[in-house]
Structure 1
Amino acid sequence: MKPQKLPYLDISTATSVEDAARLIFMENLLHLQNNCRLFLKAKDDNALMQIRIATRRIRVALRVFRNYIPQVTAQLLKEEFKYFGQRLGLARDLDVLSNGLLGDSCPVPELEDDYKDLRKRIEKRRDKEFQRMRKKLKSKRFKSLMKHYENWCEDPFASRFGAVAMQDLNEFILETLDAGHQELRLKGEKLEDYTVEDLHELRKYVKRCRYHIRFFASRLKPKVVQQSYDILVPMQDSLGHINDVHVGARLLNEICADVSTKKMHRYLHMNALLLEYLGRQADTEMAIYEGLWGDFKAFEIKAKDLVSLPVPFEKAL
């Protein structure tokens, strides 16, 4: 059984913001539960990435529906999912370094033997970190969080939504998409002054916009959804790759500092060549992102881009 990505979210039957929220939170719960099961019981390491994505997506959903959720509840869930998402970060970074940035083939052929030794060292650290994450996800704290979130999702919370819940769902969707778009535009305007850390923060805004589309895709015309993904997905991937290079460089230096003095010179030489190789990748990805920025600024989703849904029977009376 392969790690499960979040399936297509169908909220076409939702007639209110409450209905949409309930469907979105429940789908995210199932996505998280399924991948936790795979990671812990089937020991599928690839499921860890989906667990981390799930914790992040839940936090975005909490932000989207923040006006409809009791503040104490939202804050508790947000902080706990953030805590576990951050703990999963190192395992993910080591996995990306080993299987993504570096890969099986040595980009510097004359250093093949040292490169193989380097990858073994990375994989050893990764495996140790994955084992530590299994303990984290079996902890009382995580089990308590999952039980709390599950109970909250299954408990009908429409009665807690208050007067603001009367907002039309289509209006809410358009406002959410527009707010995400405007926040990203403001955040990304001074790109030439940004550090790698700034770009990492900017990527969070890109992901937020992408998740907004994911949540409400069933209420948008397919062509508009595809146009959104054609811009946001490569934007996110490019910024993600740049951050992976930044984190990978730090990890390579840490591993280099841990080798014997006899290997130090060779490792430093290899690291310098690898960093140059990875730096060129980062330059390429930055150029891709800058090329997409104009497309993003020019793209807007309006009322005409929503799908026409049948009028509910009770509203038609």
Structure 2
Amino acid sequence: MDASSGQKEKEVQLSNRHGVGDAFGLILHQDYLAMLSWVPVAYANSDVEGVHQVRIALRRMRSALAIFSRAMPANVLSPWSEEMRWMAAALGPARDLDVFISESIVPLLGKTPYSHGEKVLMELARNKRAELYVQVQHTLDSPRYQIFVKDFSHWLEMRGWFQRDMLAKDRLKMTQGIRNFSIKILEKRFRKICVNGESLETLSDEALHELRIECKKMRYATDFFSLLFPGESMRLFVRNLKAIQNILGLMNDVAALPRVMDGLVDGLTNPEVLRFSGTVLGWRTKGYADARQHLTTRWSHFISIPPPWRRIR
């Protein structure tokens, strides 16, 4: 594979005239093309966005499968979801190390008295990253991935979610208007994150991780359906949601930091490397504390504004 430029996600061109089944096809097709455009970049290791964007596209497609499972038989969708989960997990370690290098090491280069320690840790991280990108290539070369691409492409082309022998009630679900369907989905996901965010100040790291996942699901749903709700209110909702996601994402990166660092420095006895590693951890932990305090303010603002779909009922 040769490196090429991937395409960033775009708004899904949905309108009120689309039925649920047609909307599902549009969303999956767009995200699948985005994934394919970034796969060569990930394979060539030419840009850290490659692996990142492939995983985003996979998560978005899995989210679409979950959303539309309300209108389609689970046995039609779940096999694809499992393959996407496998692929995203296989690329995860490479992404974790990319984030570690760019967010935890690079900002501190030349800013501590441990120049030797930072040099050694950076070298260890780069060597480990090279190993993990070989694993990325193995994943993308694997028969399992190749079969997935072949079969999923065919399924999309043939609109495999419309089955000839489906029950009349299932066919009716797929032909219902997308707008009313989207309102039900958005409301359900909004209520879920509100419940998960209760008593925010006392939530454990695990509970915050769950909140981050639910906010991500909410974000994907708004991405899919945003054009069905024109106007500033949806754009404001998405901006506020993004701000929450950014804070929770930073906190999650810091929470994952010990696991990533342990894989690099376990067994090392070089004092300067350990001091620099401790400096990295301390600096990021301070950022975590600041982010948690900021999260409370942003969250209060976010949930105080009625979501746009409630205003049009």
TM over 0.5: yes
Match of 2:15 in 1: 12
The farther-off stretch of 291-300 and 209-218 is: 291-300
Quick one: which of 254, 277, 285 aligns to 2:283? Answer: 277
TM-score, normalized by length of structure 2?
Answer: 0.89
1:51 aligns with 2:54: yes
Deviations along 1:54-78, whole A, 9 cap, x unmatched?
1111111001100233311211111
Q: Is 2:304 aligned against 1:301?
A: no
Deviates more, 1:10-19 or 1:210-219: 10-19
Q: CA RMSD in A?
A: 2.1
Task: Please show how residues 137-216 of structure 1 align to structure 2 within 5 Å.
Answer: 137-156=140-159, 157-158=161-162, 160=166, 161-216=170-225
- Could you tell which deviates more after superposition, 288-297 or 160-169? 160-169
- In structure 2, the CA distance between the partners of 1:266 and 1:38, relative to structure 1 (3 Å rule), is closer
Give the match's secondary structure for 2:8: coil
CA distance in structure 2 between the partners assigned to 1:46 and 1:86 by the alignment: 16
Match of 1:290 in 2: 296
Deviations 1:123-168 (A, max 9, x none): 1111210111111011110111122222221123445542323433
2:40 counterpart residue number: 37
Identical-residue share of aligned pairs (%) = 23
Q: Contact 1:178–1:301 (CA<8 Å) still a contact in 2?
A: no
Q: CA 1:91–1:64 in 2, change beyond 3 Å: closer, same or farther?
A: same
Partner of 1:313: none
State the alpha-carbon separation in 2 of the partners of residues 296 and 303 from structure 1.
15
Report how far residue 4 of structure 1 moved.
Answer: 2.2
Deviation at 1:273, TM superposition (A): 2.2
Query: Gaps spanning 5+ residues in structure 1: where?
Result: 307-317
Q: Give me the whole-angstrom Cα distance separating, in 1, the residues matched to 2:107 and 2:304.
A: 40
Alpha-carbon separation, structure 2, partners of 1:43 and 1:69: 39
Name which of 230, 251, 266 aligns with 2:272. 266
CA contact (8 A) 2:189 2:217 kept: yes
TM-score by structure 1 length?
0.88
Number of residue equivalences: 303
Deviation of residue 231 (structure 1)? 1.0
Please state how far the C-alpha of 1:13 moved relative to its aligned partner: 6.8
Query: How far off its partner does 1:42 sit?
Result: 7.6
Instruction: Tell me which amino acid in the other structure corresponds to 2:192.
Output: E
Name the amino acid aligned to 1:75. S
After superposition, the C-alpha distances for 1:8-35 in whole angstroms (9 at most, x for unaligned) are 2111274211121111111111111111
Q: Determine the C-alpha separation between the residues in 2 that align with 1:247 and 1:10.
A: 36
User: SS in structure 2 opposite 1:204?
Assistant: helix
- Segments of 5+ residues of structure 2 without an aligned counterpart are none
Q: Residue in 2 aligned with 1:232?
A: 241
